[in-house]
Each structure stands twice: as C-alpha cells, then as structure tokens.
A and B are shown apart, each in its own frame.
Chain A
C-alpha cells in the first residue's frame, strides 16, 4: 500500500514540475512516469539498507534510461523527460539541514550534511551521464548492425539486377 502512495505522489509531483518547466503538454504525463520510476527505485533501495549515494545513482540511472527511450519514441530532446525526472532525487532536505546547522553555529554537523548533499548530487549527475553514454553506445551498435544488413540486402539486389 505504502509503495502505491509513493508511486502516485511522485508521479503527481514530477508531472507538476513538468508544468513549471513548461514541458510540451503531451509529454507531461510521461515526465510523471519517469519521475515516479526513479523515486520508487530510490526509496525501495534506501529502505532496504542501500547507502543513499548508491540509491541516488541507480535512481538517476533509471531516470536517464527511461527518458532516453521516451525521447527516441516521441522525437523530442531527452532533456524534456530527464530534468523533471530527477527532481524528486535532489537532496533538498539534506542541503536544508546543512544550512540550518551552519546558521546555528554547529559547523561540524553542517559540514557533514553538506558533504552528503554534495555526494548525492554528484551521484545523480554521474548516473545521468553513465546512462546516456551507455544508451548511445547501444544505439550506435544497433544502428551499425542494421545498416550493415541493409547494405548487404542492397548489394544482393544489385547483383541480381546485373
């Protein structure tokens, strides 16, 4: 039950971010799905004892892969889906705590929280970049396969015509 509430809420929240960032109206529900998937993976992993940095990395990785697939099928830039998708993963709460402790002159705890926020945002960025590079390699590989087959067929036809 809990997971369905999380799925639904993260879907609505990400779709609302699609509205704020002015995504094309047709793409907004799909933005929501991207965000819901990323958040669900993050929260499932972090509830089961995975360190938050790794969970964020995997969440962002999934966001980027799903965004890439949607971008290919809708023929819009990938940025439309990935930007709102990663918003639930952004460590807003941790960054807030870092600042709050610094304001309260508890610099040591503040630095600790700040370091956590820094690592998590780095992990999100790494997840995005890794997924993008992987997808590009995969698509290049697939395209190469297809073109070689096509050229093969073309050659066959050409020889037949001769």
Chain B
C-alpha cells in the first residue's frame, strides 16, 4: 500500500463521513460506515472519532491522521442513502477506491433537494392533515394550510440568508403565530391553539430528538448530548416565537 493510496483512502473515508454527518445521520452509524470502508481496504488499525461538529480519523500508528470540521447540519435523507450505497459497493469490492471518491465528490456537490415550492406545498398539506388528526375542525384547514407553508418558507429563506438556525426558527414560529392570530381575528379560522399546533409541526426537530437518544444508547455521549441540546434549542426557539404572540 503506497502513500498515495493511503492519502486517497483517508480522503475518501473522511468525505463519506462528512457528507453523512452534514445530512443528519446517526453518529454511531457514521463511525460504523467509516470503519467498514477502511477495513475493506485492508486497513485494520483505523480509528474514527465522530462528533456532531467534527470528525477525527486515523489509519494507524505510522499512518496519517486527519480532521474535518462540520459546520452545517441539515436533514437530507437522500444523501445519506446515496453515501450508504457507495460504501456498500466499496465494501463488497464492486467499485474501486478512485471510483468511490469520484462518486462521493459528485454527491457532495449536487443539491438533491426538491424545489422549495414543492417542499412548501408538502408542509402545507402535512399541517392540514395534522389539524384533522388532532381532532380539529375542517373549517380551520385553510388557515393552517397557509400557516404551515409560510412557516417552512420563512425558516428556509431566513436560514439561507442569516445562517443562524435559532433565529430562523424563532422568526418562523412568530410568523405562524401572527397568521393564526389574524385568521382567528378575521374569522377565517376558529381555534387559535390548533392552528398554531398544526402550523409548527413541519418545524419540529423530530430527527434531532431521535438521533440524540439513539446516540446516547449507543454510547456516544458527546454526540448524544450535543444533538439533544440542538433539539432543545430548536424547541425553545419555536416556543419563544409562539409565546411572544400569545403574550399579546
């Protein structure tokens, strides 16, 4: 195994870990995937240490060790599935290391998200369904349709502009609260509480919460607590935005 091969392997494995972590995969699964990829390349002594904000990966005693930092975290299940696919192919020796690295680079550059309008529409429909599931009345559906869609739109746009997650969620919750308040005031909707609950459902940190507990159970206490704090901050931001509207 030459130095070049080692460098390529470490780049490839780190990139895979980084894409998975940035797309919101569980920490223990990222570690597992990285080690599997390394073992398939006959690197038995490799070690990986994954946290939500950075990855440290080493190939062994006399080999290089590399760090990569992770600054953004979104929920992108498509990328996780794609990286998983590449690692599966690499570990069963269907593709070589060079091909895997090329594929991973392509995955990292491509934006797999569906158009924002489709996402907003999905959020609207999901919110409307939830208000009926939570025993709301069909009369509130138009108001919650608007509130859910606008909420997701605000969170996406503000996050793209400011890069502060807490602030974008706070603002989105505030907008949802105002829409619900106006809807009740102008008698488009009836039940303020249920409109707000339905509207904030697309913002709920469901992925973070489940990942936090699963990482804790897998023994990754740093990652579990980190993600738990992120989930708590998100919930707190939503709560603060709604509370501001309710307190008037």
A-side residues, CB < 8 A to B, are 5-6, 9-10, 12-13, 16-24, 27, 39, 43, 75-77, 79-80, 82-84, 86-88, 90, 92-93, 95-97, 99-100, 102-104, 121-122, 124-126, 128-129, 132
Say yes or no: B114 contacts A19, CB within 8 Å.
Answer: yes
A16-B123, A16-B126, A90-B204 given; A128·B210 CB < 8 A: yes
Min CB gap A142→B, angstroms? 20
Q: Which residues of B contact A23 (CB under 8 A)?
A: 77-78, 81
Say yes or no: A92 contacts B213, CB within 8 Å.
Answer: no
CA distance A131 to B194 in the complex (A): 32
Whether, in the assembled complex, B166 has its beta carbon less than 8 Å from a beta carbon of chain A, the answer is: no
Q: Which residues of A contact B239 (CB under 8 A)?
A: 95, 99
Say yes or no: B78 contacts A17, CB within 8 Å.
Answer: no
**Contact residue among B76, B77, B213, B246 (Cβ-Cβ distance under 8 Å from A128):** B213
Q: Which residues of A contact B76 (CB under 8 A)?
A: 21-22
CA distance A84 to B235 in the complex (A): 17
Whether, in the assembled complex, B9 has its beta carbon less than 8 Å from a beta carbon of chain A, the answer is: no
Say yes or no: A83 contacts B206, CB within 8 Å.
Answer: yes
Say yes or no: B133 contacts A9, CB within 8 Å.
Answer: yes
Selected A-B contacts with CB under 8 Å, 5 pairs:
A22-B75, A76-B85, A88-B133, A93-B197, A96-B197
Interface of A is mostly: helix
B-side residues, CB < 8 A to A, are 24-26, 29, 75-81, 84-85, 88, 112-114, 118-119, 122-123, 125-126, 129-130, 132-134, 152, 193-194, 196-197, 200-202, 204, 206-207, 209-211, 213-214, 217, 235, 239, 242-243, 246-247
Say yes or no: B133 contacts A103, CB within 8 Å.
Answer: no
CA distance A99 to B119 in the complex (A): 28
CA distance A87 to B133 in the complex (A): 12
**Contact residue among B193, B206, B242 (Cβ-Cβ distance under 8 Å from A86):** B206
Min CB gap B212→A, angstroms? 8
A76-B84, A80-B80, A103-B243 given; A20·B126 CB < 8 A: yes
Min CB gap B155→A, angstroms? 10
Q: Which residues of A contact B132 (CB under 8 A)?
A: 5, 9
